[in-house]
Structure 1
Amino acid sequence: MGLRVTLVAAARSSSLLAERFDDDRPLDAAGWYEVQCAAEALVPLGAAELRYCSPTPRSRATGEALGYAPLVQPALRDCDMGRWRGLTLAEVAALEPAAVDAWLADPRTAPHGGEPLLAFITRIGGWLDTRPAEDGAIVAVAEPSVVRAAFVYALKAPPATYWNVDVRPLSTVALSGGPGRWRLRLEAAAQPAPLTRPYTPGL
């Protein structure tokens, strides 16, 4: 069977434009609503033998709302953004445009005084590679940035690929394999509920 790790992006704690670096705010009203809407598809993932989450409030709340009763994993914490923590990208770009350019251009730099992107990706990859199960299923609710980092690590893609991966709240990424041999696993889409009456175009 092999090991299967499904990463679930935490529900939102703000609108996209209001997202802040290393955010520690809880789920907002829209986030709670989206969890309810996605529950039918995501709750079955809780049958996994091991269930984890990032230490952020919204990751923990998402996991609890889905019935996972997840174990908090400090290694799945968001990237340490140093003095930029709590600011939006627009705010930082207005304050330190040259530093933002350097951060986006070189994954080894940390002009904010926190964690370089490359170190962040490597940390998340280290968590993947040290999972205790050789077979079975694992589910982990994590920040979208963590899901992006895992995706890049698993595919052995250049770190700059991180900026080209769009992870929406409550989206999932499934990986299978093991240390050093991860593969992206495309799951079959859920079948829509049958129509209660024949569908007529234009009605």
Structure 2
Amino acid sequence: MNVRLKLLAAARSSSLLETRFDDDRPLDAAGWHEAERAAPVLCRLAAAELRYRSPSARCRETGDALGLTPLAQPALRDCDMGRWRGRTLGEVTAAEPRAVDAWLADPRSAPHGGESLLAFISRVGGWMDTRPADDGAGLLAVAEPGVVRAALVYALQAPPHTYWRIDVQPLSVTTLVRRSGTWGLLLDG
């Protein structure tokens, strides 16, 4: 049984410099504008029989802006950043440089008291592995960029540090396919 899972990265909720760990801010004006402008192209995603989303405000609003009405899935939440939640990387680096270095170097490390990168990737992968066969109807998930990155690392069985080398743009679509129990990346034109 095959599964085709399309991952739609949420529209933006802030500029890159203002991005905060485990941020649950809604779409900003630019994010709404981008979603509305992309709607004619992305409306085809509504054909997916099963539509899911990360539980964040920006994923909900991205789904709403595109008319997708996806169902919230707790397993698709962004990485739990513990006491770093709501802070920028710059703020945390200034306050805890060694902890940030450990977190970036060791995928099992969780100096913030939240979830390690490895646990995050495993959680997202576990959710993917429980998706039912779609028989061609397709599955869609509107997700945080971090969730899309974790899904790619899991699907490709890449080393965890690969997570830091994947750049996911707002409103980009990534397609993963599971055949005979093995995930792969589908590049469609």
Q: Would you say same fold, with TM above 0.5?
A: yes
- Whether 1:153 aligns to 2:154 is yes
Q: State the alpha-carbon separation in 1 of the partners of residues 171 and 92 from structure 2.
A: 27
Residue 103 of structure 1 and its aligned partner are, at CA, apart by 0.1
What SS does the aligned partner of 1:110 have? coil
1:72 counterpart = 2:72:
yes
1:96 is displaced (CA, Å) by 0.2
Structure 1 counterpart of 2:19, which letter?
A: E
Q: 46-55 vs 1-10, which deviates more? A: 1-10
Separation (CA, whole Å) in 2 of partners of 1:144 and 1:107: 18
Tell me the residue number matched to 1:106. Answer: 106
Name the structure 2 match of 1:172: 173
Deviations 1:52-91 (A, max 9, x none): 0000000011011111111100100010000000000000
CA distance in 2, matches of 1:134, 1:41: 22
Q: Which has the larger radius of gyration?
A: 1
Assess if the C-alpha contact under 8 Å between 1:128 and 1:179 holds in 2: no
Q: 2:2·2:180 contact (CA, 8 Å) conserved in 1?
A: no
- Alpha-carbon distance in 2 for matches of 1:127, 1:66: 24
- Give the distance between the partners of 2:173 and 2:152, measured in 1 at CA: 11
SS, match of residue 51 in structure 1: strand
**Taking structure 1 as the reference length, what is the TM-score of the superposition?**
0.90
Counting only pairs closer than 5 Å after superposition, residues 40-119 of structure 1 correspond to structure 2 as 40-119=40-119
Instruction: Note if contact 1:20-1:89 (Cα within 8 Å) is conserved in structure 2.
Output: yes
Structure 2 CA distance for aligned equivalents of residues 127 and 2 of structure 1: 16
Q: Name the stretch that deviates more: 36-45 or 49-58.
A: 36-45
Matches within 5 A, 1:112-131: 112-131=112-131
- Compute the TM-score of the two structures, normalised by the length of structure 2: 0.97
For structure 1, the 5+ residue unaligned runs are 189-203
Shift of 1:149: 0.2
Q: For residues 179 and 82 of structure 1, what CA distance do their matches in structure 2 show?
A: 37
Residue 140 of structure 1 aligns to which amino acid in structure 2?
A
Greater than 3 Å deviation, 4+ residue runs: none
In the alignment, structure 2 segments of 5+ residues that lack a partner are none
- AA aligned to 1:107 is P
Q: 1:2, CA displacement in angstroms?
A: 2.7
Mapped partners of 2:93, 2:114: distance in 1: 17
SS across alignment from 2:182: coil
Aligned residue pairs total 188
